Amino acid sequence: MRYLWVCLALFALLSLNVLSSFAASTGLNTSLTNNYSLFQDTTKVKFVTPKDSLRKDSLDRLKLKTIYDKLSGGVLKDTKDLSLFPAISLQQNLKGNYAGLYVQEPSGEPGSIQNMFLRGAPMPLLSKKDVYSSQPLVVLDGIPMVGEHPFAFDIQQYDFNRIGPATNLLAGIDINNIASIEVLKDLASVAEYGPRGVNGVIVLKSKSAEGVARSISFNSYIGMVQKPTVNTINGRYENEFRQRFYDIYTTNGRYSDDEIYPVYLSDSLNNVYSGKSDWTDLYYKNALIYGVNLGLSGGSDRASFRFSLGNTKSEGVADGTGLDRYSAMFNINMRPVKWLLFSAMINGNRINRTRNRSLRDRFAQLNYFPDLSAPLAPNKDYYASYLNEYDKGFDDNKTNTIQGFAKLIATFGKFKAVSSFNVDYNEGYRDIFYARTLLQGNSYASNYYGFNQRLMMDNKLTYDFKLQTVHDFHVELGQSMMWDIYKYNNAYAYRGANDYIKINLLESDPLNGNYLNPLAFPKELTYRFLDKTADNLLSFYGKANYSYNDKYFLSGTLRLDGSSNAQPTKRWFYSPVLSAAWNIKNELLKDTRSVDDLVLRASVGRLGRTFTYDNYAQGPQYTASVGYTGNLTVPGYNAIGVLTRPYSFGWVGYDVPWSYSDQLNVGADVSMLKNRLHVSVDFYTKAEKNQLINIPAYAEYGYKQSIESGLDMTNTGVDLSISAQIIAKSKFSWNSALNLNHNTNKLKALPRGLDQIIIGNRFLKVGQPVDQYWLLENEGIYTANSQVPVVNGQPLKYNGTPLKAGDPIWKDQNGDNIIDEKDKVLKGHSMPLLAGGFDNSFKYGNWSLGTTLYFNLGRKIINQDMANRFDFVNREGNTDVTSVKEITFWEKRGDYTKYPLYNPWSTVIPYRVDQDLFLENGSFLKLRSVSVGYDLGNVLKKKNIKINKFFIYGSVNNVFVITPYTGQDPELVSYDGIDTGYGQPIPRTYTLGVKMEL
């Protein structure tokens, strides 16, 4: 990583030197010693005219943007208010601020993965692969940013976290370097980004210094995350909890002679488990957070630059987690001649992340479960001894990211040619060593290296002309090429020679005769995996815009996209998009003073959706892997490489067509009362067609499923944004903004004309939403055998087992006297039906106050954490992931009184999670932020202190939440709507900060 920083510094110094030389050659004085202006005496340079200046470029773009807004519903915001929130990731900055954008934050652990969905999920979320395919495109200064490909999950037994650092790549965005954020949702606005933008686009524009004199900015904050208040329990409490079941369902304190009561609970005098429960002193903590960003910008009408450096540290509130980010950004604009503009940008980040010490995540990484008969002790001294053993090893996570572009814009009268080269590259490292004392004498080591790379060449030619002063035309032809490469190398080994040799997992020197044999670990217990996938996209498009007298606007786009992930017979896809707008204000309401602007707009079109995996392009195929239970992928048999059919991946046939999205959007934008009230509303429908899904099939040939096209679904809803300047006095002002999204989805078709399908624990039925839970309906408890229904002498059964006293009353939906999958019903929604945010800002003199509310309504959560607590019988004594008990096992959560006391020893598993007993209302209202600030700028100016801005502020974040949910924070839920209880708390934070511009 030090080479990256050296390169950034050299690039910055070289660019500064070039700027100085260029300015000197053109008569511009660029002395950095001047306190007020970096570029002096610009009026002496006669050829620097408004026509040639960088200011003119900014004004032209602003004009085009204003016209463009008539045709699309993109929401543009600056970041001065967003930056007051001490976010570590872009998703945290965006949450609750844009209508239609739903952000999931399943854990408060800094740098962990967070998900975004624009106007609903475009497909059933059956796995992390589907989540990846549903994310909107993030574009930084024209660079479509690449994500972390999910193909590494193919060699994992669990999909809790991807192998490698599993760090949120959007944590590499420093909001202090961003000038504006725009969320594009309809096809009229995303069509130019092609298939990569089919899920919506989030456009980030970095700060620059186009034609601005020197400016120095300094932004910094320091704060604290507050540890939560929790109720701890110990072995005595757990015994009392379980004793209620023994009292009801046993006569001698034992359900059967074969039952063995857990040893760690059997001795009530054992202070290790039944004594003081003070483990929280080591697990939860008040922690430090801070951020600092220094920016230097300067320029003239012919050249400008901006350079910034930053460091952000965010310590987690639990388990010693944290993230440390170092960032640097440099951009430059130069106009060597009046018809040519050169722009370049480079953004680099180093992210060091301290991950959790969760047992579940560790065992999933190991693919190995030691003895789980006794959990971690709740006593602080014994828990400390465990942490000491953990500290004998290491878990190093490092991620490097870099984005950059170089762009040339040539203007020849009404013609403009734009050519750019973009790159986004990130690489991750994770080195692990677990000492043998953690794994019953079996040490473990792992090395991971992976990267994601996107290169893009983009060329565009535009022509603008006007006829008879009222007809404006804009014609655009474009072509782009995008190359994506994803690769990882992963190796792990067991039973090292000792705990002092923690490296040398792989000998990489081929000149060493022993290089295939690791020196510290047995060869037969060393496993190596590597994989690589690519996705190339070639696109051509044409676009024409027309406006008549600033009243009527028409636009049409036609794209031709070719993907390497499409099959050879279906390589290309055509995408047409049409949009129109009517400026009613200019047409009918010119003399109406109460209405300042009123625009009605509509768009309709189709956009292709590329496949995530290159396997889909190959048809029937072979793969170089075999596997067995506990080790999904082994690249050989008895040390011999083999080719097998991809039985676990699935059968892929021929003539698989492109998936695509048909979208219709109708919207209106209104400004009233001298632009003090703005309302924007959009009605939309998104029809996702020809999507791939795994159909259980071909079991007789060894396959688990067949990957087939034909899944269709729709998302329909409305976005509403209202902003108002309620009070606008000279000393006091009050601005308020509300955004809402209501979204519903429905499954329209399945492959083969199927009406329904079961995939894992999900049931998809045509005509029903795809985000519903498939559950048994619980109606109470049988307190006596006589209460169990009997038909023809046969009692009601669950999958062949007669129900008895102490079992749940599950509703027999079809009346066949059997409780099975046919009696499950679709209930609830894992995605909110209504989501949004409500912001208020007040200003009195130099003081300001801001509040932010965030809410979700109509969302349900499966409280699996509580199901696990009550299903203690089936979680004891096993060696699998369901039996893992974290240290948070000794934390009292939820409301125990709302659950019936079923017979936990019943073979029907009465506390199974697939019943509505554990389905809860996950709606919430959260006061996400309160900030108070004071602007010293005016005070300092009165004292002749040359300063543009000096703003100090304090904020409290994640202040409180109002919710009927009885579990943890209702945001701590995985993508499938299940609260596993493993998510770390989203902490309350207190910050003090300053923003300066000199």
> What is the structure's pLDDT at 505?
54
State the pLDDT confidence band at 40, using cuts at 50, 70 and 90: very low
Query: Mean pLDDT lowest for which of 58-72, 265-279, 418-432?
Result: 58-72
Q: Which residues lie across from 76 on neighbouring strands?
A: 182
Q: How far from 98 is each of 49, 94, 264, 955, 956, CA to CA, in Å?
A: 39, 7, 50, 21, 21
Band the pLDDT of 44: cuts 50, 70, 90: very low
Q: Which of 150-159, 623-632, 672-681 has the lowest mean pLDDT?
A: 623-632
Q: What is the pLDDT of residue 503?
A: 61
Alpha-carbon distance values, 981 to 367, 619, 771 (Å):
21, 41, 21
pLDDT higher than 90, residue 326: yes
Taking 50 as the threshold, does the pLDDT of residue 452 lie above it?
Answer: yes
Give the chain's domains with CATH numbers.
75-211+336-497+526-725+732-765 (2.40.170), 777-823 (no CATH)
E strand or H helix at 689: strand 677-695
Task: Tell me the C-alpha distance between 625 and 788, whole Å.
Answer: 51
pLDDT bucket at 154, cuts 50 / 70 / 90: confident
Lowest pLDDT segment from 233-247, 414-428, 608-622, 798-812: 608-622
pLDDT, tens digit, 9 for 90 and up, residues 258-309: 677 888 998 888 889 999 999 999 999 999 999 999 999 988 878 899 999 9
What is the DSSP secondary structure assignment for residue 776, as one 8-state letter? B
pLDDT (mean) for 694-710: 89
- Answer whether 115's CB lies under 8 Å from 130's CB: no
How far is 949 from 804, CA to CA, in rounded Å?
Answer: 74
pLDDT mean across residues, the chain: 88
Residue 960 pLDDT more than 80? yes
345: confidence class by pLDDT, cuts 50, 70, 90: very high
* Diameter of the chain measured on Cα atoms: 105
Q: Look at residue 795 and give its three-state secondary structure.
A: strand
Give me the pLDDT at residue 495, please.
86
Asked if residues 545 and 554 have their Cβ atoms less than 8 Å apart, the reply is: yes
Residue 786 φ/ψ, nearest 5 degrees: -70, -15
What's the CA gap between 171 and 401, in Å, rounded? 10
Give dist(CA 185, CA 199) in Å, integer: 8
Q: What is the b/e burial string over 19-31, where b = at least 16 CB atoms within 10 angstroms of the residue's CB?
A: bbebbeebebbbe
Q: Are 803 and 795 in contact (CB under 8 A)?
A: yes
pLDDT of amino acid 372:
85
For 295-317, letters b (16+ CB in 10 Å) and e give bbbbbbbbbbbbbbbbbbbbbbb
| Rounded alpha-carbon distances, angstroms, from residue 269 to 84, 234, 866, 898, 981 | 52, 12, 27, 31, 29
Query: Using 50, 70 and 90 to split pLDDT, how confident is the model at 883?
Result: confident
* Residue with more model confidence, 243 or 269: 243
Mean pLDDT, residues 851-876: 95
Question: Which pLDDT value is given to residue 621?
Answer: 79
Residue 477 scores a pLDDT above 70 = yes
Which uninterrupted H or E stretch holds 54? helix 54-69
Q: How far apart are CA 297 and CA 254, in angstroms?
A: 75
The predicted model gives 397-412 an average pLDDT of: 96
pLDDT at 173: 95
963 — pLDDT class (breaks 50, 70, 90): very high
Say if CB 145 and CB 169 are below 8 A apart: yes
Q: φ and ψ at 424, to 5 degrees?
A: -135, 120
In the predicted model, is pLDDT for residue 210 greater than 50? yes
Q: Give the mean model confidence (pLDDT) for residues 655-665.
A: 96
Tell me what percent of the residues of the chain surpass a pLDDT of 90.
71
Q: What are the residues facing 959 on neighbouring strands?
A: none
DSSP string, 282-344: HHB--EEEEEEEEEEEEE-SSEEEEEEEEEEEEE-SBTT-EEEEEEEEEEEEEEEETTEEEEE
What stretch of H or E contains 366? helix 359-366
Which of the listed ranges 59-73, 309-323, 626-640, 940-954 does the model predict with the highest average pLDDT? 309-323
Asked whether 209 and 306 are in contact (CB, 8 A), the reply is yes
The type of residue at 625 is: S
Helical (H) or strand (E) element with 493: strand 471-494
| Cβ neighbours around 696 below 10 Å, total | 14
SS3 873: helix
857 in Cβ contact with 845 (< 8 Å): no
Q: In the prediction, which pLDDT does 38 show?
A: 24
For residues 837-866, average pLDDT: 95
pLDDT of res. 631: 63
One-letter amino acid identity for 598?
A: L
The mean pLDDT of 131-149, rounded to a whole number, is: 96
Of 154-163, 471-480, 623-632, 645-654, give the lowest mean pLDDT range. 623-632
Encode pLDDT of 162-172 as tens digits: 999 999 999 99
End-to-end CA distance of the chain: 32
pLDDT at 2 over 50: no
Tens of pLDDT, residues 890-913: 999 999 999 999 999 999 999 999
Scanning 70-115, the segments in alpha helix (DSSP H) are 90-94
How many CB atoms sit inside 10 A of residue 83's CB?
A: 21
Confidence of residue 249 (pLDDT cuts 50, 70, 90): very high
pLDDT single digits (tens) 546-597: 999 999 999 999 999 999 999 999 999 999 999 999 999 999 999 888 999 9
Q: Is the pLDDT of residue 844 over 60?
A: yes
pLDDT of residue 258: 64
Contact predicate 839/849, CB 8 Å: no
Q: How far apart are CA 680 and CA 669, in angstroms?
A: 4
Residue-level pLDDT at 371: 84
- The full 3-state SS of 616-650, as one line of letters, equals HHCCCCCECCEEECCEEEECCECCECCCECCCCCC
Query: Quick one: pLDDT at residue 640?
Result: 64
- Range in 125-129, 424-428, 698-702, 850-854 the model is least confident about: 698-702
For residue 501, give both structure tokens: 């040799």
921 pLDDT band, cuts 50/70/90, is very high
Q: By the 8 A CB rule, do 688 and 712 touch?
A: yes
Closest Cα partner for 929 from 80, 78, 93, 175? 93
